[in-house]
Amino acid sequence: MRSLLVFGVAGALSVLASSRKLLEVGRLFELAQLFASGLSFLAVGVLLGPGALRLIQPADLEQMRPLVVAGLGLGGLLMGLNIDLRVLRRLPGAVYSATFAQSGLTFAAVAGPVAALLVGTGQLPLGEAVGPAALLGAAASISSGHLAVLWSRSGRLNRARGLSVALLAMLDDLTGVGVLAVALALGSGSTPTDGLKLVGLALALGLACGVLLAFLAHGRGESGELVAIALGGVGLVAGAAAYLRVSALIAGLVCGAVLSLVGGKAVAALVRALQRIERPAFLLLVFLIGAHVDPRLPLTWALLPVFVAFRFLGKVGGGRLAAAALDGVLDVPPRLGYALIAQGGVSLCVVTEYLLLAPGASAALVFPVGALAALVNEALASRVFARSLDGPARASVEPGV
Amino acid sequence: MTAAPGAAVRLVGASARLGLLVCLLAAIAAAQWVRADAGTPITLAAGALLLCALFAGTLAGELGLPRLSGYLLIGIVIGPHGLDFIPREGVAGLDLVKGLAVSLIAFTAGAELRLAFVRRAGLRVLGLAGALSGAVFATSAGALLALRPFLPFLRDLPLSQAVALAALAATVMVSFSPTVTIAIIQETRARGPLAELLMALVILGDLVVMLAFAVAAGWARASFGGPLDVAGLAGGVGWELFGSLAIGAAAGLGTTLYLRWVDRELPIFVCAVAFASAELGAELHLSPLLLSLAAGAAVVNLDPAQCAKLKGALERASMPVLALFFAGAGAGLNLSALRVVGPVALALGALRASTIYGTTWLFDRGEPRSSSRFAWMGLVSQAGVTIGLAALVRRTFPAGGAEIEALVLALVALNQLVGPVLTRKALDRAGEI
């Protein structure tokens, strides 16, 4: 019955979120973007969860754990499917330099002050503060390109610029997941060597599942059977990861990357099948992540403004560095940093994965800040995205890039 | 242009895929050494059972067996009582899928229940269902009492208590499996008088067992010194029966309106209705099966045109859910019970099947060409309802209940393996596939 409540709330919310009338009302309060992006589900999850109204109890969250795990696996799989290694190999080095510059600067801009705050207020000794600070830095470094895509589709942003922003956002996802892998290597095993083995196991699992799924889907037409293979594949990769207590996000990402590398008609059909469940699965995941957030911790509210402010500065500064690195290589908005403020779903997955795999004081600190910041940054991004277009145009881009 | 792959190619393809899946599961189970304590196995159970069931079903189909037998067998093989690649907690955690599958199946069956059919064949079906239930009950109870000296849970009891407990166990043994029978009809797309008759019989049989079990349990409790609350018993059964029908009809009306006015994302919608029926039914002490059946029947009789859309959506939504459900049911089957009580279960199973055969033969002796002469083959299956009732007996009667449950589970294991094959054969022989 409790699961019916959770699904019922998520279903009702998804119907409301797709309602044009509600979007119109949301526009009055400048909340339309929150509804459209689905991050409003996070707020409702927080509200109904054990930390607020307690309509959803901790036991319900425990019961819903398999769905959270499946959502993380699906997130990783879809992220991996977007990685086309052949395209990545052909990208100019400047694109990687720009990604490293903007995500690295944001990482440093957030991790440093957070560590200082934790140590300065006596919450944690320096050795123990490094982990949470680095994880929050990783969550901060991730951006979402969905606003650029939306603006580009509606004709308000040049298509090439929209694609450039989406590309940078996709690449900085990998930075965030990379830092998560390091954090898990350090925090999820009894020793760093043990942790490293577990990350290796997640990679191997993703690889094996990717190869197997490509084989299973081979020769199947666009059919209900393919949808079932897609669903089963997500369950297998995410479930095996959860069973072995390694990262479902990382295993899913590797699995998706392998499928993307294999390519072909069967994989394309598999991707279409997965895209059909992507939106409802994402909304349910965001809602459940929200329900895991306990907003009663005072430290969360102390860290949240620090996180948001320093991330903003990091993105704006990093955006400048990135734009300079990309001059003549990619057509990017003049004030690139403003286009990268949205934090998106991947950062939510990163902090949730850390909460599930390295539970403890450090994860309890990182998780609510990372999750609530995604909500705040979504609202902020919808207001400042237009500013990314202000300013002088950059030099023209070399043909063929 | 390439030629369509032949049966042998499909057989090899499905075997290779299934083999690789099982190897991966073996590797995952072996990788446990990295972690002393495992995490939640439910997602793994769902994903692995679904994928394995898909290819085992294809394999079974190519071998001329029902896909459902493939689902059940692969569940047994990789489940906790077989190779143990799927942990027991993972299988137990698939409860949500069980409820969803039973409701989807009942929804599908309900969508075939036109009032015209009920008017045409209602009395005959009711008579046959009553005769079958009565005959199986009488022979099973008689056999249990005859075997009393060899059955520890009856041997030491005074006769009055032994009769009451034997009657309770016999009631459980009467039960059919609407899920298996209807799933086979759905899988084979069988259409005709036998398919209609089987669906109606298993559903009515289920109702008869529901009523009889409540009465038998009350009698058994009273014979063991407990109170006999006739009013409470009647109220409970009445609520379960009429409450399920009323709420199901309301759900059917809601579904019809959705189909008429909204008509979007139908597979997700039918899954949501089925899931809500299962959860609400359990919470309100209603029968989820009857509730969904009434919902489906309401749709087909209120608006047959909309029902065609509903059937399409049910077919799309059902495939993965049923594959997972039956593979999970297979994984939950403990065949070791057969080693302990196998001979008695085998004897009771044979008696049950021959009683069903004899009753249908007697019922149809005036109509030698009637399709119902094959009906006995479609009524052998036993599954969820039987297992649920057996568990209820164990919980209600700690002394002897566990032995009854073991016996019934062994009987179910036998009938699960044989029943789907027989049902398909019956439909085939009646020329309805």
Residues of A in contact with B22 (CB under 8 A): none
Average pLDDT of B137-160?
A: 88
Which pLDDT score is estimated for A13?
67
Please determine, for residue B31, whether its predicted confidence score (pLDDT) is greater than 90. Answer: no
Q: How many CB pairs under 8 A join A and B?
A: 128
Percent of chain A with pLDDT over 70: 90
- Cα separation, B165 vs B401, in Å, equals 9
pLDDT above 80 (res B126): yes
B380 CA: distance to closest CA in chain A (Å): 29
A237: contact with B, CB 8 A cutoff? yes
Per the CB < 8 Å rule, is B276 touching A73?
no
CATH fold for the domain made of A64-389: Na+/H+ antiporter like fold (1.20.1530)
Chain B residue closest in CA terms to A207 = B24
pLDDT digits 0-9 by tens, B173-190: 888 888 889 889 988 888
Q: Considering CB atoms only, which of A4, A219, A232 is closest to B51?
A: A232
- On the 0-12 / 13-18 / 19+ scale of CB atoms within 10 A, B119 is exposed
Cβ contact (<8 Å) for B21 and A212?
yes
For the beta carbon of residue A201, count every other beta carbon within 10 angstroms: 21
* Higher per-residue confidence, B101 vs B38: B101
Q: What is the pLDDT of residue A394?
A: 55
Residues in A touching B272 (Cβ below 8 Å): 7, 11
**CB atoms A216 and B268 under 8 Å:** no
Chain A residues with CB inside 8 Å of B319's CB? Answer: 224-225, 228
pLDDT average, residue stretch B268-288: 86
- Condensed to tens digits (0 to 9), the pLDDT of residues A82-138 reads 888 888 889 999 999 999 999 999 999 999 999 999 898 888 888 888 888 999 999
Q: Judge whether residue B57 has pLDDT over 80.
A: yes
Tell whether the model's pLDDT for residue B2 goes beyond 60.
no
pLDDT 10s digits, B211-236: 888 888 888 888 877 776 778 778 88
Q: Flag if A4 and B280 touch (Cβ within 8 Å).
A: yes
DSSP letter for each residue of A189-219: SSSHHHHHHHHHHHHHHHHHHHHHHHHHHTT
Instruction: Choose the weakest-confidence range: A366-370, B330-334, B371-375.
Output: B371-375
- The whole-chain average pLDDT of chain A stands at 87
pLDDT at A130: 86
CA distances from B418 to B202, B256, B425 (A): 17, 38, 11
Judged on CB neighbours under 10 Å (0-12, 13-18, 19+), B158 is: exposed
Residues B211/B287, Cβ–Cβ less than 8 Å = no
Q: Cα–Cα distance between B135 and B125 in angstroms, integer?
A: 15
Residue type, A169: A
**A197–chain B Cβ distance below 8 A for any pair:** yes
Neighbours of B127 (CB within 10 A): 11
Q: In the structure, how many helices (H) and strands (E) does chain A have?
A: 18, 0
Return residues 255-314 of A near B (CB < 8 Å). 280
CA distance linking residue A279 with residue B431, whole number of Å: 44
Who contacts A93 (Cβ-Cβ below 8 Å, separation ≥6)? none
Query: Does the structure show a pLDDT above 80 at A393?
Result: no
Among the partner-chain residues A66, A197, A245, the one whose CB lies closest to the CB of B42 is: A66
Residue A400: pLDDT over 60: no
Percent with pLDDT over 90 in chain A? 49
pLDDT at A351: 94
Q: What pLDDT score was predicted for residue B368? A: 56
User: Which residue of A13, A20, A243 is the best one to mutate when testing the B interface, meaning the one whose CB has the most B CBs within 10 A?
Assistant: A243
Q: Nearest-CA distance from B114 to chain A in Å?
A: 28
List chain B residues with CB under 8 Å of A1. 279-280, 282-283
Model pTM above 0.90:
no
B28-56: average pLDDT:
88
Distance of alpha carbon A401 from alpha carbon A87, whole angstroms? 11
Q: Does A189 touch chain B (CB under 8 A)?
A: no
pLDDT at A364 over 80: yes
Q: Cα Rg for chain B, rounded, in angstroms?
A: 22
pLDDT at A401 over 60: no
ipTM, 2 dp = 0.89
**Contact (CB<8Å) B46/A235:** yes
pLDDT of residue A399: 46
Q: Which of residues B334 and B46 earns the better pLDDT score?
A: B46
Query: Per the CB < 8 Å rule, is A66 touching B48?
Result: no
Q: How far is B288 from chain A (nearest CA, A)?
A: 13
CB atoms within 10 A of CB A125: 10
Q: Where are the domains of chain A?
A: 64-389
Residue A209 confidence class, pLDDT cut points 50, 70, 90 = very high
Average pLDDT over residues A193-217: 93
Confidence at residue B306, expressed as pLDDT on a 0 to 100 scale: 87
Establish if A65 touches chain B: CB-CB under 8 angstroms. Answer: yes
| Interface of chain B toward chain A, CB-CB under 8 angstroms | 5, 13, 17, 20-21, 24, 27-28, 31-32, 34-35, 37-48, 50-51, 54-55, 87, 90, 93, 96, 268, 272, 275-276, 279-280, 282-283, 316, 319-320, 323
Q: Do A239 and B47 touch (CB under 8 A)?
A: yes
Q: What residues of chain A lie within 8 A of the CB of B55, using their CB?
A: 216
pLDDT at residue B46 above 60? Answer: yes
Across the range A249-272, mean pLDDT stands at 92
- The share of chain B scoring above pLDDT 90, in percent, equals 30
**Mean pLDDT rounded to a whole number for chain B:** 86
Nearest CB to A231 within list B37, B44, B320: B320
Alpha-carbon distances, residue A289 vs A44, A80, A143, A231 (angstroms)? 10, 21, 18, 21
Contact B272 A11 (CB under 8 A): yes
Residue B5 has pLDDT above 90, yes or no: no
Read off the pLDDT of residues B77-120 as tens digits, 9 standing for 90 and up. 999 989 999 999 999 888 788 888 888 888 888 888 888 877 88
Q: What is the mean pLDDT of residues A64-91?
A: 91
Q: Is the pLDDT of residue A219 over 60?
A: yes
Residue A2 has pLDDT above 80, yes or no: no
Closest Cα in chain A, distance from residue B427 (Å): 25
Nearest to A216 among B31, B51, B316 (CB): B51
Is A229 in CB contact (< 8 Å) with chain B?
A: yes
Smallest Cα distance from A83 to chain B, Å: 24
pLDDT of A397 higher than 60: no
Any chain B CB within 8 A of the CB of A8?
Answer: yes
pLDDT confidence band for A80 (50 / 70 / 90): very high
Q: What is the pLDDT of residue B1?
A: 43
- Pick from A69, A227, A245: which is nearest to B43 by CB? A69
Question: In the predicted model, what is the mean pLDDT of residues B418-433?
Answer: 90
CB of A348 within 8 Å of a chain B CB? The answer is: no
Question: Pick the residue with more confidence: B340 or B134?
Answer: B134
CB distance from A207 to chain B under 8 Å?
no
A280 to each of A223, A273, A275, B27, how far by Cα in Å?
20, 13, 10, 32
Contacts of B34 in chain A (CB under 8 A): 197-198, 201, 244
Q: pLDDT of B199-213, one tens digit each?
A: 888 888 888 888 888
Contact (CB<8Å) A233/B87: no
Judged against a pLDDT cut of 60, whether residue A395 lies above it is answered with no
Q: What is the pLDDT of residue B370?
A: 60
Which helix (H) or strand (E) is B416 found in, with range?
helix B398-429
Residue A238 in this model has a pLDDT that exceeds 90: yes
Using only C-alpha atoms, chain A has a radius of gyration, in whole angstroms, of 20
pLDDT the model gives residue B24: 96
3-state helix, strand, coil in chain A (%, to 5): 80, 0, 20
Closest chain A C-alpha to B29 CA, distance in angstroms = 9
